[in-house]
Chain A
């Protein structure tokens, strides 16, 4: 690998985000994904730019700026000033799956909300206790625990202390927004391996204790130029909308209507769920008019942050009948970690998540699903932001590539819709 100076290279804007939430001395923070003439990609901030002054296709050159001064230390780096969709490379991985080997026999979930009066320990005790009761299992019968938390506990002690677990293995897991499902995955594999007979997968988060707006990603010491940390989460996902608009020819206001429909549908679903944080239907007009946070995403296009805990008890499928009449059989569990190169690889065009495509294909294969829209009754997806759900519809195979937006407008993802 050799270092090539890029300071004098020119570039074109592939997509952009206008972040009203992120920390900056002069809001909003405008970020761009630049593809350089001759190759190379950089996600960086745009200097001397007002929010209306950037568009896909703009030409940009590099300028040297002082990004921040924090704790008396300056951080100097470069900003910009004035693709062919990457296929997920399916690495042949041994992925045999554990279809019908384990079952969930008890579950619990606390209310989601702003629990000012409940601590992490309170939530864990609540969720664990209810899951054990649901499975009619005593805590001492559990052989091993997996605790998923992204920022509300360190080490297995975060669970063993409040639950007073007697000298059992407790693993704390973190995988950003996949933390909870990864805790479940690890617990299920441990039971499927035959190493344990009863496992608990439990997750907890108290995002409201931080006092910050939105998600905050913990940082590690660095040279300060990693583009992971300057944008807020809504801004990162808002990189999708200009790219999706440009690629499929959907005008910005029509795409905004698609986002609004997705949020409206989700609020309607929440109104039926006694554990949801938001349990009122919200009109499309109110959603569309909500104050902008990043790009075209208003407050209501973004999921709220919350406090809550949930737990599951897992046993081998042949023991399931001892615990409950209607076990939930695990058909497939997949996890795909990408290379995080979308921000430097010009072949990535911001209209898909290749990791989701790969993960879904593996999961469908493990479970023997060949026609997802026909064979699946329901999908609960990670709709951190409305454009995420739009892309997931296509990546999970519920809508044809490039047609997700029209499926949403046709009402094909609502509670009463039939996919096929």
Chain B
């Protein structure tokens, strides 16, 4: 069971304003922005950027990489292998995709923490929905990476608890561009007891109370349930999706919020992380003084700095084009050739 050795986060450059969506569709509302990955980014490329930031903060090389996402660039082929290659890891490093459901974000963190070797958990996602939907408006694109290994580290996981349940709240068939959801009040009613059960158990494992936790983050796939649970927890400070202002980046969101809490936490403070996705999962971490030393020494922008930066003038039609929802006329030029396998293999360093 490892400690957290380093973390990194990546929020892409572009922002789509909710007013821009509403103006284009002449329907809907909301203010603020959602982060949008550029046409040349995907879950794999953003994972690399987040992992690079974590890698700049620690000399420990991972011996395994777990990539969690609901929007894998490939099926059948391991996307984490691309991440390892881009990071320059050699063939001793294992690579595995944790794909398909948002819960995988918490799963990858737990698995990396439990692993007996230095392991990198990378959470990366692009979330959207059909034009005009709440998921389009409230979704986001981002990635976060966490390196676990034998300490001393910047934070220690002191409790993990979860309560799972089989129920139909959010689902998507493979190949479909958008989730479907049941009425959110139904999901809320199932999530709340599970969320309380997991939190109570985690606090009991750690021997602390909710009031002892300095930083709490809560996120999940049912916005209503997250908001209600946030009101009922008794934590002093609760940070949820709206605090970052870039939308909910699905699998990556729990990582992004954890990274944000670590950007702001002091030494020897408690951080509680809860994910509501097909059940509730809570992790409790305690920071160490080494977190402050690493923050002071390391380059790279914080989550909030990345969230605040970027180009917020992206119009709606380029967003739709980049997402493949609007097919535009191509120029009168040949389509590019795909890379060939043997030269790619020879030239990969």
Contact = CB atoms under 8 A, between A and B. Distances in A.
B331 A222 contact: no
B166 interface: no
A27 interface: yes
Interface of A: 3, 5, 7-8, 21-23, 25-27, 47-48, 63-76, 79, 211-214, 216, 219, 221-225, 229-230, 232
Contact of A224 (B38, B332, B344): B344
A208 to B, nearest CB: 12
A23 B336 contact: yes
B40 A65 contact: yes
A69 B73 CA distance: 10
A260 to B, nearest CB: 25
Contacts, number: 114
A3 B85 CA distance: 14
Given A23-B331, A68-B336, 19 more contacts: A5-B349, A8-B52, A21-B331, A23-B336, A25-B39, A25-B321, A26-B318, A48-B311, A65-B41, A66-B44, A67-B40, A72-B338, A212-B332, A212-B333, A219-B337, A222-B340, A223-B347, A224-B339, A224-B340
B339 A225 contact: yes
Sort A-B residue pairs by CB-CB distance and give the 4 closest, nearest first: A224-B339, A73-B338, A221-B340, A223-B344
A223 B14 CA distance: 29
Nearest to B337: A219
Interface in B31-62: 38-42, 44-45, 48-49, 52, 56
B45 A223 contact: no
B332 A211 contact: yes
B86 A76 contact: yes
Interface SS, A side: loop
A320 B333 CA distance: 46
Contacts of A75: 336, 338-339
B336 A63 contact: no
Nearest to A217: B334
Contacts of B73: 66, 74
B322 A25 contact: yes
Given A25-B321, A48-B311, A76-B44, A216 B347 contact: no
Nearest to A4: B349
Interface SS, B side: loop
A7 B331 CA distance: 32
Nearest to A23: B333
B82 A76 contact: yes
Given A48-B311, A74-B73, A63 B330 contact: no
Given A25-B321, A64-B86, A224-B339, A47 B40 contact: yes
B340 A223 contact: yes
28 contacts: A3-B349, A5-B88, A7-B52, A21-B333, A23-B335, A25-B321, A26-B39, A26-B321, A48-B13, A48-B311, A63-B49, A64-B45, A64-B86, A66-B41, A66-B44, A68-B338, A76-B44, A76-B45, A212-B333, A213-B331, A216-B334, A219-B337, A221-B337, A221-B343, A222-B339, A223-B348, A224-B339, A232-B333
A73 B14 contact: no
A70 B322 contact: no
Nearest to B348: A223
Contact of A223 (B82, B321, B343): B343
A229 B336 contact: yes
Interface in B310-345: 311, 318, 321-322, 330-340, 342-344
B346 interface: yes
A307 B337 CA distance: 26
Max count, chain A CB within 10 A of own CB: residue among B41, B48, B331, B346: B331
Interface in B1-31: 13-14
A8 B275 CA distance: 33
A216 B333 contact: yes
Contacts of A69: 338
A207 to B, nearest CB: 13
A71 B45 CA distance: 19
A48 B38 contact: yes
Contacts of A22: 331, 333
Contacts of B340: 221-224
A165 B38 CA distance: 56
Given A25-B39, A74-B74, A76-B45, A224 B338 contact: yes
Contacts of A72: 338
Max count, chain B CB within 10 A of own CB: residue among A22, A26, A27, A79: A26
Contact of B332 (A66, A213, A225): A213
Nearest to B51: A64
A89 to B, nearest CB: 27
A64 B48 contact: yes
B253 to A, nearest CB: 21
Contacts of A23: 330-331, 333-336
